[in-house]
Structure 1
Amino acid sequence: MVEKKDAMVSRSSKSTKLQAVDLLKILIVDDHEVFRCGLRDLLNDIDGFRVVAEAGTCQEALAKLAVVPVELVLLDLYLSDVKGIDTVHQVRKVFPQPRIIILSATLDDDILLESVLAGISGYLTKDTPAADIVKALKGFLQGQLAMIPPVLTRLVELLVQKYYAFETALTIYQQNETKEFDRATSEIPTPNIIPPTHSPHISLPNLTPQEEKVYQLMRRGYSNKQIASQLFISRFTVGKHVQNILHKLGATNRTQAVSYNSFEGVE
């Protein structure tokens, strides 16, 4: 009977040790002691979490991280010594391994985006109900971002806005590049060297098939815009083809290129 009890105690001890190993070690960084105490009690009641250290400033947090094994940092962004996204960068610079979840009094669009780009694992506001914080942290254990639906929705909206802003900027850039190519490779007016109805097809083996199509239209007096419309390609692409043609034919300008048979001595 005694041996049976000893075996049960031994198994219980092993189970307790296993649970301790599986607990996620947390550092709370916040300059309000009362808030830290309440959050610590909340987290220690969640399976899989254990608060192992607390800090009231960024420097104190760095000192704790240097001596206490920590896997997750719950970080307030507005401390007495460091504020905003710099708080995340300060911790990441010295200790890149622990995951970081932000606990902020407010939801700031710029900081939310910058924090996600900095690699944080979640963003929670301090007015979030305790039950929602617990749910978000349990989701974090499953590999999800620790965010409640309103914050996640706002993040998606911001990312969509950034995408469209980038797309607009890219379109403007491409349009400007197209204009620059047209300016650099087109002469106005373009000389009509050979009438359209009598344009012989000249085989130029060193041009690609697409470049040869562009070249034949150049010889017929087509502008870059007209060539683009004829071949269903962009003016930017036409400009690149024209540059390649000038280079391959050894021509210094469009006029010389379309007169290739003349300056090469071709009959």
Structure 2
Amino acid sequence: MITVMLVDDHPVVRAGLRGMLEVEADITVVAEAGSGAEALALATIHRPQLVLMDLRMPGGDGVEATRALRETLPEIAVVMLTTYDDDAEILRAVAAGAAGYLLKDATSDELAEAVRAASRGETVLARAVAGRLVRQVREPPATTTLSARELEVLRHVAAGATNAEVGRALFISEATVKTHLVRIFGKLEVTDRTAAVTTAMARGLLTPGAG
């Protein structure tokens, strides 16, 4: 059972999210919070596996709450769930330790699959978010490539390593690994780890059996 905490300052939004998630046999909502400060307090008590975090709330920023939560309880994954798809906000959230960035127009199936993926240690991005990152980092097709560090990260991902394992192997933080993955997703025009690996292999950027 995947345990989830909902963080949003609008009770009606939390009620809607709870309804969407609790029809899933493997997901249960164990707590709700209306602010970042409340989220930190309740997370300490309930220890959910994953937090769905609103980006902007009165009296606190979701990104800062994510950073504080990850520093205090690093075993808890945090996925931003917001109406804002600004490039800078996306990168801020990932750099703060968020495992993903979803938009509130996600379907119930998309939300449930994102929760499952994030609970496995994967980075998840809404398609619209991935599309914005593509436009941000896209280069002409003939010259599109990955940096040496991005290739190192992807080789470890191809070998089945989690973000934390990649970070330990490369002596970088897990947040930095996630930032690299976001940029990799954007350059390769994909939305998940598996597609990144297969696309990189198809383009000759990564050889089968890498890692």
**TM norm. shorter chain > 0.5:** yes
| 1:123 aligned onto 2:101 | yes
Q: Write the letter of the residue equivalent to 1:146.
A: V
CA contact (8 A) 2:79 2:118 kept: no
Once the two structures are TM-superposed, the CA of residue 154 in structure 1 deviates from its matched residue by 2.5
**Gaps in structure 1 of 5+ consecutive residues:** 1-22, 168-267
Matched, 1:38 2:28: no
Match of 1:136 among 108, 111, 114: 114
CA contact (8 A) 1:55 1:61 kept: yes
Q: Which structure exhibits the higher relative contact order, with contacts defined as CA atoms closer than 8 Å and separated by 6 or more residues?
A: 2
Q: Closer, same or farther in 2 for the Cα pair 1:80/1:47, shift >3 Å?
A: same
Shift of 1:113: 1.1
Post-superposition CA distance 1:90-120 (Å, at most 9, x none) = 2223222200000112111101012222331
Alignment match, 2:92: 114
| 1:1-267 matched pairs, under 5 angstroms | 23-141=1-119, 143-159=121-137
SS at match of 1:144: coil
Structure-2 separation of matches of 1:142 and 1:86: 23
Asked whether the 8 Å contact 2:99–2:121 carries over to 1, the reply is no
Give me the whole-angstrom Cα distance separating, in 1, the residues matched to 2:6 and 2:80: 10
CA distance in 2 between counterparts of 1:139 and 1:40 reads 18
Contact 1:27 1:73 in 2 (8 A): yes
Query: Alpha-carbon deviation of 1:143?
Result: 4.8
Q: For residues 54 and 124 of structure 2, what CA distance do their matches in structure 1 show?
A: 15
Query: Hey, what does 1:207 align to over in structure 2?
Result: none
Extract unaligned runs of 5+ from structure 2.
148-211
TM-score (ref. length: structure 2) = 0.59
- Higher share in helix: 1
Shift of 1:155: 3.0
Equivalent pairs counted in the alignment come to: 141
Displacement of 1:75 after TM fit?
A: 0.4
Q: Is the 8 A contact 1:77 1:87 kept in 2?
A: no
Change (3 A) 1:40 1:110: same
Q: Contact 1:30/1:76 (CA < 8 Å) preserved in 2?
A: yes
| Shift in CA distance, 97/137, structure 1 to aligned 2, threshold 3 Å | closer
Task: Say which SS state the counterpart of residue 42 (structure 1) adopts.
Answer: helix
Larger Rg: 1
Structure 2 vs 1, CA of residues 65 and 144 (structure 1 numbering), >3 Å: closer, same or farther? closer
